[in-house]
A and B are shown apart, each in its own frame.
Chain A
C-alpha cells in the first residue's frame, strides 16, 4: 500500500450529506481534528440534494414507531438552536422556515383516515388541530374548495436541505476542518479490532492514499453497502429507497401556500420565496434513479387536485434521489463493532430532521461520553453481531 499519508486525524467522517456534515462540524467545533471525505465533486449531492426538508415528526408520526417519534421530536426541538449556532459560524443562510404543516383529505375515505391519525396523536399527547374545509381555506387560500378535512400541525416546520448543507460545509471549513471532495472512500482500514482510518478508491483525488484517523464515522447513506473493510457481522444493512421529486417556482412570487402541505401520498414544501418542492415517490428499485413519466404525473396530479394554482408554476428541476433505508426505518447511531468505528447512517426519510440530534449523539459517541438514553433503540448493534462474535 502506498504510504502517502501526510496527516493523522482524530476523526474521519465518510460521506458529505447533511448527516456527515453536521457530525463533522460538531466534532471540529469541539476541538477535534476532522477530515470529511465525499466521493462526489461537491457535498450534499445524494439524498440531501433531493430531500424536501420537512421537519415534521408530528405529522409523520407512525403508531408503531414510537421511539423514532421521540428522537424526531427531540431533534425538531433542537433545530432552532442548531440553526442559530450555525448562523454564528457561517454567514450562509440555513433556510429554516417556521411555517407549520397541514394534512388534508379530499374525500370521505381520506377524512376518516385523517381522523384516525388525529386520534393516534391525541392519544400520544401531540399537538394537532382539526380544521373543517372553510377554516382550512381561510388559513391557506390556495387550497381547492373540494377538500373535505384538514389537520394542522403548528410545530412541524421545514428547512432547505441544500442551503443548510452549504452552511454546514462552510462552518466546518471555517472552524478548521478539512473537506475533501472527489475523495471516494473504498474501505475502512483496521488493525486488530481497532479502526486506523480510511483507504481511498483509486481514481479518487488522492488516488490510492490512506487517511489515518483514530476514529471513523460512517455517514455513507444509501451507498453504505459499497464501503469495504467492515468485517462480516459488523455491517448495518442499508438499502436505497428511490424517491422522485420536483422543484417548482411561482413566477408570481410567494403566497400560494405558506405551510407545508402533506397529502396522501406526498407533500408540497414551500421555501418561502415562491419556490416549492413537490415529492416524493417511494420505490424499491435498487440504485436506479430514472425519473419516469408516471412518477412525475402522479405527483403533479395529486398536488394540483389539492392546490389548483400549482398548474401555473414553472418546473425547475426533476430528479430522483435514494433514501438510506434500514429494515426498521430507523438510523444506526453510535459506536460500531470495531473500536473507533461509529455509525450515523440509515436515516431513511428523516435525515434532514434528525441531523441536529445525530450530530449531538455522535459527539457523545466520539468523546466516549455515555449516550443520551434516547439513543438506546438506535444502537448499531441491533443489526450486527457482537464484537466477540466478529473476532471469533
Chain B
C-alpha cells in the first residue's frame, strides 16, 4: 500500500487515519478498528484477519483461553504484534467480572479491561446495574475500564461518572449482525459524553461500521461480522475501509437531509442564452 500515491486512493485513507489518531486513556492508536477473537474457524484465519485489519487492539476472553498455553490464540496475537484487551465475557455478576478482571491483569500484564457483565445467555445484553457496580470497583482498583453497555445515553453517563475510560454501546445484540438498531441513541451518547465512544456489537457488514463512524463513534469493535464471514480476510479489509471512510465522512461534515431536491449547480449567475422565456 505504500506504493500508492499518498494523495489518492488507499494511501490517502491511510495518511488521513495516521493524522487523526484515536486516543483512549491518554494512549493514541492509529487504527479505529478493534477486533474480537471469537468465532474464527482456525487460528490461521484469525491471524490473516488481524493482519489485514490494521487493528492494534484485539480483545480476548480470559474465561475461554489459558493465556499461558503455547501455540494458542496468544501466540497468534503476539506474532501479529497487536495488543491484548482482556474481556470479562461470560460473567453474569459484578463479583465474577471483578474477579475475572483481576485474573486478567495478572495473566496479560495489563490494567486495561473490556468489562462485560451479561444479563442472560439468550440475549447477551448487558446487566446495567451489575455493570455500573463492577466499573466502580475496577476503576477504584486502578483499571482502565472500557465497559460494554446498552445504547442507553443515561447509562453511558453513569459509566462516565464512575470513571470509565470509554463507553462501548451496542448497535444490536452480540453476534446478531443487525447493525445499529437505534442510531439516534448512539448519536445522543456521542453528544453527551466526553469519553471515546466505541460501537461494540451488532456490526454485520461494512456499511454498519461506516454508519457507526458517521454517527460520531470514535472506533468500532468487530468480531462475528469478520470471524463468521465466508471469507474473514476480505471482510476484515472491507470493515477496515468502512471505518476509515466513515471517520473521514464524519470529519468532513455531511450535508443536512432535505425533503426537496436542491440542484448542485446553483442557477444564479448562469449565462443567459436567451432561450428561456419566463
Contact = CB atoms under 8 A, between A and B. Distances in A.
Contacts of B42: 65, 327-329
A177 interface: no
SS class, residues of chain B in contact with chain A? loop
A285 B65 contact: yes
Nearest to A107: B122
B69 A284 contact: yes
B45 A283 contact: no
Contact of B45 (A64, A120, A240): A64
Interface residues of B, number: 20
Contacts of B231: 64
Contacts of B194: none
Interface string A222-246: 0001000000000001111000000
B31 to A, nearest CB: 24
A285 B69 CA distance: 6
Interface string A55-92: 00000001111000000000000000000000000000
Contacts of A327: 42-44, 47, 76
A237 B45 CA distance: 16
Contact of B71 (A225, A283, A288, A328): A225
Contacts of A239: 69-72
B260 interface: no
Contact of A65 (B41, B64, B66, B68): B41
Given A64-B231, A283-B64, A327-B47, A240 B41 contact: no
Contacts of B230: 63-64, 120
A31 interface: no
B213 interface: no
A94 to B, nearest CB: 30
Contacts of A127: none
Contacts of B65: 283-285
Interface in A274-308: 283-288
Q: Which among B44, B69, B72 has the greatest number of chain A C-beta atoms within 10 A?
A: B69
Contacts of A63: 230
Name which of B42, B44, B73 has the most chain A CB atoms within 10 A of its CB: B42
A283 B230 CA distance: 22
B69 A240 contact: yes
A37 B47 CA distance: 35
B66 A328 contact: no
Interface in B31-78: 41-45, 47, 64-66, 68-73, 76
Contacts of B64: 283-284
Interface string A83-127: 000000000000000000000000001000000000010000000
A285 B71 contact: no
Nearest to B71: A239
A117 to B, nearest CB: 11
B66 A286 contact: yes
B72 A284 contact: yes
Contacts of B71: 225, 237-239
B144 to A, nearest CB: 25
A57 to B, nearest CB: 15
A346 to B, nearest CB: 11
B12 to A, nearest CB: 32
Contacts of B43: 325, 327-328
Nearest to A242: B66
B41 A62 contact: yes
A107 to B, nearest CB: 10
Contacts of A225: 70-71
B7 to A, nearest CB: 36
A285 B70 contact: no
Contacts of B41: 62, 64-65, 329
A329 B46 CA distance: 12
B231 to A, nearest CB: 7
B93 to A, nearest CB: 14
B45 A284 contact: no
Nearest to A282: B64
B44 A286 contact: no
A72 to B, nearest CB: 14
Nearest to A224: B71
Contacts of A283: 64-65
A288 B42 CA distance: 20
Given A63-B230, A284-B64, A328 B69 contact: no
A63 B68 CA distance: 31
A136 B45 CA distance: 34
A284 B70 contact: no
Contact of A288 (B44, B66, B76, B232): B66
B89 to A, nearest CB: 13
A262 B75 CA distance: 31
A285 B44 contact: no
Contacts of B45: 64
Interface string B122-149: 0000000000000000000000000000
A240 B66 CA distance: 11
A341 B181 CA distance: 57
A240 B68 CA distance: 12
Given A65-B41, A327-B44, A329-B42, A286 B68 contact: yes
Interface string A304-335: 00000000000000000000010111000000
Nearest to B45: A64
Contacts of B68: 286
- Which of A65, A109, A238, A286 neighbours the largest number of chain B CB atoms within 10 Å of its CB? A286
A327 to B, nearest CB: 4
5 contacts: A63-B230, A64-B231, A225-B70, A284-B72, A285-B69
For the complex of A and B, the 4 pairs showing the least CB-CB separation, nearest first, are A286-B69, A239-B71, A284-B65, A329-B42
Given A285-B65, A285-B69, A325-B43, 18 more contacts: A64-B45, A64-B230, A120-B230, A225-B70, A225-B71, A237-B71, A239-B69, A239-B70, A240-B69, A283-B65, A284-B65, A284-B66, A286-B66, A286-B68, A286-B69, A327-B44, A327-B47, A327-B76
Interface of A: 62-65, 109, 120, 225, 237-240, 283-288, 325, 327-329
